[in-house]
Amino acid sequence: MGSALLKGWLEKGLDPHSVIIIDPAKGAAEIAGEAGVKILTGPDLLDPAFAPQVAVMAVKPQAMDLVVPGYEALAAGGMLVLSIAAGTTLSYFSKLLGENACVVRAMPNTPAAVGRGISVLIANSGVSNDQRDLCTSLMSAVGEVAWIDDEALMDAVTAVSGSGPAYLFLLIECLAEAAVMAGLPAALAETLARATVEGASELSRQSGLPAKSLRENVASPGGTTEAALQVLMATDGLQPLLTRAVAMAAARSRELAG
Protein backbone atom coordinates (compact mmCIF):
# COMPACT_ATOMS: atom_id res chain seq x y z
CA MET A 1 0.00 0.00 0.00
CA GLY A 2 2.89 2.33 0.74
CA SER A 3 4.27 1.87 -2.76
CA ALA A 4 0.84 2.55 -4.28
CA LEU A 5 0.59 5.79 -2.33
CA LEU A 6 4.09 6.87 -3.29
CA LYS A 7 3.39 6.15 -6.94
CA GLY A 8 0.20 8.24 -6.79
CA TRP A 9 1.95 11.17 -5.13
CA LEU A 10 4.82 11.19 -7.60
CA GLU A 11 2.44 10.99 -10.57
CA LYS A 12 0.61 14.02 -9.22
CA GLY A 13 3.83 16.03 -9.11
CA LEU A 14 5.23 15.56 -5.62
CA ASP A 15 8.95 16.35 -5.56
CA PRO A 16 10.68 12.98 -4.95
CA HIS A 17 13.42 14.76 -3.05
CA SER A 18 10.85 15.75 -0.41
CA VAL A 19 10.18 12.07 0.39
CA ILE A 20 12.24 9.79 2.60
CA ILE A 21 11.47 6.09 2.92
CA ILE A 22 12.54 4.61 6.24
CA ASP A 23 12.66 0.84 5.98
CA PRO A 24 15.33 -1.65 7.05
CA ALA A 25 14.11 -4.15 4.47
CA LYS A 26 15.73 -4.51 1.07
CA GLY A 27 12.35 -4.08 -0.60
CA ALA A 28 12.47 -0.34 0.02
CA ALA A 29 14.83 0.08 -2.92
CA GLU A 30 12.24 -1.48 -5.20
CA ILE A 31 9.55 0.84 -3.85
CA ALA A 32 11.66 3.89 -4.55
CA GLY A 33 12.80 2.64 -7.93
CA GLU A 34 14.45 5.36 -9.93
CA ALA A 35 12.24 8.12 -8.57
CA GLY A 36 15.02 9.82 -6.66
CA VAL A 37 13.44 9.10 -3.29
CA LYS A 38 15.93 8.85 -0.44
CA ILE A 39 16.01 5.63 1.57
CA LEU A 40 17.16 5.22 5.18
CA THR A 41 17.15 2.13 7.37
CA GLY A 42 15.99 3.93 10.53
CA PRO A 43 14.71 7.28 11.85
CA ASP A 44 17.91 7.73 13.84
CA LEU A 45 19.68 8.42 10.53
CA LEU A 46 17.53 11.44 9.73
CA ASP A 47 19.20 14.83 9.62
CA PRO A 48 18.54 16.45 13.04
CA ALA A 49 17.42 19.58 11.20
CA PHE A 50 14.83 17.67 9.17
CA ALA A 51 11.27 18.67 10.15
CA PRO A 52 8.75 16.60 8.15
CA GLN A 53 5.11 17.61 7.88
CA VAL A 54 3.85 14.05 8.01
CA ALA A 55 5.05 10.50 8.61
CA VAL A 56 2.99 7.84 6.84
CA MET A 57 3.04 4.60 8.81
CA ALA A 58 2.71 2.02 6.04
CA VAL A 59 3.83 -1.04 7.99
CA LYS A 60 2.15 -4.19 9.25
CA PRO A 61 0.27 -3.81 12.56
CA GLN A 62 2.54 -6.45 14.10
CA ALA A 63 5.58 -4.22 13.50
CA MET A 64 4.11 -1.08 15.07
CA ASP A 65 5.54 -1.68 18.56
CA LEU A 66 9.04 -1.62 17.10
CA VAL A 67 8.53 1.19 14.60
CA VAL A 68 6.37 3.87 16.23
CA PRO A 69 8.51 4.80 19.28
CA GLY A 70 11.29 5.97 16.97
CA TYR A 71 9.12 8.90 15.91
CA GLU A 72 8.19 10.20 19.37
CA ALA A 73 10.51 13.21 19.18
CA LEU A 74 9.27 14.21 15.73
CA ALA A 75 5.64 13.86 16.83
CA ALA A 76 6.37 16.01 19.87
CA GLY A 77 7.60 18.67 17.47
CA GLY A 78 4.24 18.80 15.69
CA MET A 79 4.73 16.26 12.92
CA LEU A 80 1.49 14.61 11.79
CA VAL A 81 1.32 10.81 11.86
CA LEU A 82 -0.86 9.20 9.19
CA SER A 83 -1.36 5.49 9.79
CA ILE A 84 -2.73 3.03 7.25
CA ALA A 85 -2.31 0.00 9.53
CA ALA A 86 -5.47 -2.00 10.11
CA GLY A 87 -6.64 -2.36 13.69
CA THR A 88 -4.17 0.18 15.09
CA THR A 89 -6.19 2.71 17.09
CA LEU A 90 -5.70 6.39 17.76
CA SER A 91 -5.25 5.67 21.46
CA TYR A 92 -2.47 3.22 20.62
CA PHE A 93 -0.48 6.02 19.01
CA SER A 94 -1.18 8.36 21.92
CA LYS A 95 0.34 5.83 24.31
CA LEU A 96 3.54 5.54 22.26
CA LEU A 97 3.89 9.10 20.97
CA GLY A 98 2.30 11.15 23.73
CA GLU A 99 -1.16 12.55 24.32
CA ASN A 100 -0.42 15.66 22.24
CA ALA A 101 0.60 13.73 19.11
CA CYS A 102 -1.38 14.60 15.98
CA VAL A 103 -2.60 11.33 14.48
CA VAL A 104 -4.87 10.39 11.59
CA ARG A 105 -5.91 6.80 11.04
CA ALA A 106 -6.78 5.74 7.50
CA MET A 107 -8.26 2.58 6.01
CA PRO A 108 -7.48 2.41 2.28
CA ASN A 109 -8.04 -0.63 0.07
CA THR A 110 -6.06 -2.46 -2.60
CA PRO A 111 -7.65 -0.77 -5.67
CA ALA A 112 -5.47 2.15 -4.60
CA ALA A 113 -2.78 0.37 -6.61
CA VAL A 114 -4.59 1.44 -9.79
CA GLY A 115 -5.82 4.79 -8.49
CA ARG A 116 -9.35 3.55 -7.84
CA GLY A 117 -9.29 2.96 -4.10
CA ILE A 118 -11.31 4.51 -1.33
CA SER A 119 -9.90 5.55 2.03
CA VAL A 120 -11.83 6.32 5.21
CA LEU A 121 -10.05 8.57 7.72
CA ILE A 122 -10.48 9.61 11.32
CA ALA A 123 -8.42 12.18 13.24
CA ASN A 124 -7.68 12.64 16.91
CA SER A 125 -8.45 15.91 18.66
CA GLY A 126 -4.99 17.36 18.06
CA VAL A 127 -5.24 17.36 14.27
CA SER A 128 -5.79 20.79 12.72
CA ASN A 129 -7.99 21.57 9.73
CA ASP A 130 -4.87 22.13 7.62
CA GLN A 131 -3.58 18.70 8.60
CA ARG A 132 -6.92 17.13 7.73
CA ASP A 133 -6.73 18.81 4.33
CA LEU A 134 -3.20 17.47 3.88
CA CYS A 135 -4.37 13.92 4.61
CA THR A 136 -7.29 14.31 2.21
CA SER A 137 -4.88 15.46 -0.48
CA LEU A 138 -2.47 12.60 0.16
CA MET A 139 -5.08 9.85 0.14
CA SER A 140 -6.95 11.39 -2.83
CA ALA A 141 -3.90 10.55 -4.93
CA VAL A 142 -5.08 6.92 -5.02
CA GLY A 143 -8.87 7.28 -5.00
CA GLU A 144 -11.83 8.64 -3.08
CA VAL A 145 -11.69 9.87 0.52
CA ALA A 146 -14.29 9.93 3.29
CA TRP A 147 -14.03 11.03 6.92
CA ILE A 148 -15.76 9.66 10.00
CA ASP A 149 -15.97 11.02 13.56
CA ASP A 150 -16.61 7.78 15.45
CA GLU A 151 -13.61 5.43 15.50
CA ALA A 152 -15.85 2.48 16.37
CA LEU A 153 -17.13 2.65 12.78
CA MET A 154 -13.67 1.80 11.47
CA ASP A 155 -14.26 -1.90 12.13
CA ALA A 156 -17.24 -1.90 9.76
CA VAL A 157 -15.27 0.19 7.26
CA THR A 158 -12.50 -2.40 7.35
CA ALA A 159 -15.00 -5.20 6.81
CA VAL A 160 -16.68 -3.50 3.85
CA SER A 161 -14.13 -1.51 1.85
CA GLY A 162 -10.89 -2.81 3.33
CA SER A 163 -11.72 -6.48 2.86
CA GLY A 164 -14.35 -5.91 0.18
CA PRO A 165 -12.09 -6.28 -2.89
CA ALA A 166 -11.49 -9.91 -1.90
CA TYR A 167 -15.25 -10.49 -1.95
CA LEU A 168 -15.41 -9.22 -5.54
CA PHE A 169 -12.45 -11.35 -6.57
CA LEU A 170 -14.22 -14.35 -5.06
CA LEU A 171 -17.34 -13.43 -7.02
CA ILE A 172 -15.31 -13.52 -10.23
CA GLU A 173 -13.95 -16.95 -9.24
CA CYS A 174 -17.40 -18.31 -8.44
CA LEU A 175 -19.03 -16.86 -11.55
CA ALA A 176 -16.31 -18.37 -13.71
CA GLU A 177 -16.71 -21.74 -12.02
CA ALA A 178 -20.48 -21.61 -12.53
CA ALA A 179 -19.88 -20.81 -16.20
CA VAL A 180 -17.66 -23.87 -16.54
CA MET A 181 -20.35 -26.00 -14.88
CA ALA A 182 -22.81 -24.59 -17.44
CA GLY A 183 -20.59 -25.88 -20.24
CA LEU A 184 -18.29 -22.97 -21.18
CA PRO A 185 -14.54 -23.46 -21.71
CA ALA A 186 -12.51 -22.37 -18.68
CA ALA A 187 -10.65 -19.56 -20.46
CA LEU A 188 -13.86 -18.06 -21.84
CA ALA A 189 -15.59 -18.48 -18.48
CA GLU A 190 -12.81 -16.51 -16.75
CA THR A 191 -12.93 -13.78 -19.39
CA LEU A 192 -16.70 -13.42 -19.22
CA ALA A 193 -16.75 -13.35 -15.41
CA ARG A 194 -13.97 -10.77 -15.12
CA ALA A 195 -15.29 -8.50 -17.87
CA THR A 196 -18.85 -8.68 -16.52
CA VAL A 197 -17.83 -7.64 -13.00
CA GLU A 198 -15.51 -4.92 -14.30
CA GLY A 199 -18.11 -3.56 -16.72
CA ALA A 200 -20.94 -3.62 -14.20
CA SER A 201 -18.76 -1.80 -11.66
CA GLU A 202 -17.88 0.89 -14.17
CA LEU A 203 -21.53 1.25 -15.21
CA SER A 204 -22.46 1.71 -11.56
CA ARG A 205 -19.79 4.39 -11.15
CA GLN A 206 -20.68 6.33 -14.28
CA SER A 207 -24.46 6.12 -14.06
CA GLY A 208 -24.75 7.34 -10.47
CA LEU A 209 -27.93 5.28 -10.10
CA PRO A 210 -28.61 3.21 -6.98
CA ALA A 211 -27.49 -0.41 -7.30
CA LYS A 212 -31.12 -1.50 -6.87
CA SER A 213 -32.19 0.52 -9.93
CA LEU A 214 -29.37 -0.90 -12.03
CA ARG A 215 -30.33 -4.43 -10.98
CA GLU A 216 -33.96 -3.83 -11.85
CA ASN A 217 -32.94 -2.45 -15.25
CA VAL A 218 -31.25 -5.75 -16.12
CA ALA A 219 -33.99 -8.05 -14.86
CA SER A 220 -36.90 -8.32 -17.30
CA PRO A 221 -40.08 -9.84 -15.83
CA GLY A 222 -40.09 -13.57 -16.45
CA GLY A 223 -36.62 -13.48 -17.99
CA THR A 224 -33.33 -15.26 -17.34
CA THR A 225 -31.97 -12.67 -14.91
CA GLU A 226 -35.11 -12.77 -12.81
CA ALA A 227 -34.81 -16.55 -12.61
CA ALA A 228 -31.26 -16.27 -11.29
CA LEU A 229 -32.16 -13.48 -8.86
CA GLN A 230 -34.84 -15.66 -7.30
CA VAL A 231 -31.96 -17.83 -6.08
CA LEU A 232 -29.58 -15.02 -5.14
CA MET A 233 -32.27 -13.00 -3.33
CA ALA A 234 -33.83 -15.92 -1.45
CA THR A 235 -33.90 -15.89 2.35
CA ASP A 236 -30.70 -17.97 2.35
CA GLY A 237 -29.20 -16.14 -0.62
CA LEU A 238 -26.50 -13.53 -1.14
CA GLN A 239 -27.66 -10.83 1.33
CA PRO A 240 -27.62 -12.93 4.51
CA LEU A 241 -24.33 -14.51 3.39
CA LEU A 242 -22.65 -11.13 2.93
CA THR A 243 -24.15 -9.81 6.14
CA ARG A 244 -22.56 -12.68 8.06
CA ALA A 245 -19.26 -12.25 6.25
CA VAL A 246 -19.04 -8.52 7.01
CA ALA A 247 -20.01 -9.15 10.63
CA MET A 248 -17.22 -11.72 10.95
CA ALA A 249 -14.66 -9.38 9.40
CA ALA A 250 -15.75 -6.50 11.67
CA ALA A 251 -15.49 -8.75 14.73
CA ARG A 252 -11.98 -9.76 13.72
CA SER A 253 -11.04 -6.11 13.25
CA ARG A 254 -12.18 -5.40 16.82
CA GLU A 255 -10.09 -8.33 18.06
CA LEU A 256 -6.98 -7.05 16.27
CA ALA A 257 -7.50 -3.63 17.82
CA GLY A 258 -7.48 -5.23 21.25
Q: Check the CA dihedral 94-95-96-97 and report its sign.
A: positive
Give Cα separations from 144 to 23, 117, 122 (angstroms): 27, 6, 14
- One fold for both 2-154 and 164-257? no
Instruction: Render the burial of 67-76: b for 16+ CB within 10 Å, e for the rest.
Output: bbeebeebbe
CATH topology of domain 164-257: ProC C-terminal domain-like fold (1.10.3730)
Say what the pTM is. 0.88
The confidence score (pLDDT) of residue 194 equals: 98
Give residue-wise pLDDT tens across range 159-209.
999 999 999 999 999 999 999 999 999 999 999 999 999 999 999 999 999
Task: Find out whether 123 and 103 touch, Cβ atoms under 8 Å.
Answer: yes
Give residue-wise pLDDT tens across range 24-73.
775 555 665 556 788 888 888 988 888 899 999 998 888 889 999 999 99
At 255, which amino acid appears?
Answer: E
Q: State the chain's mean pLDDT as an integer.
A: 92
Whether domain 2-154 has CATH 3.40.50.720: the reply is yes
Give Cα separations from 250 to 17, 75, 257 (angstroms): 39, 30, 11
**Where along the chain do its domains lie?**
2-154, 164-257
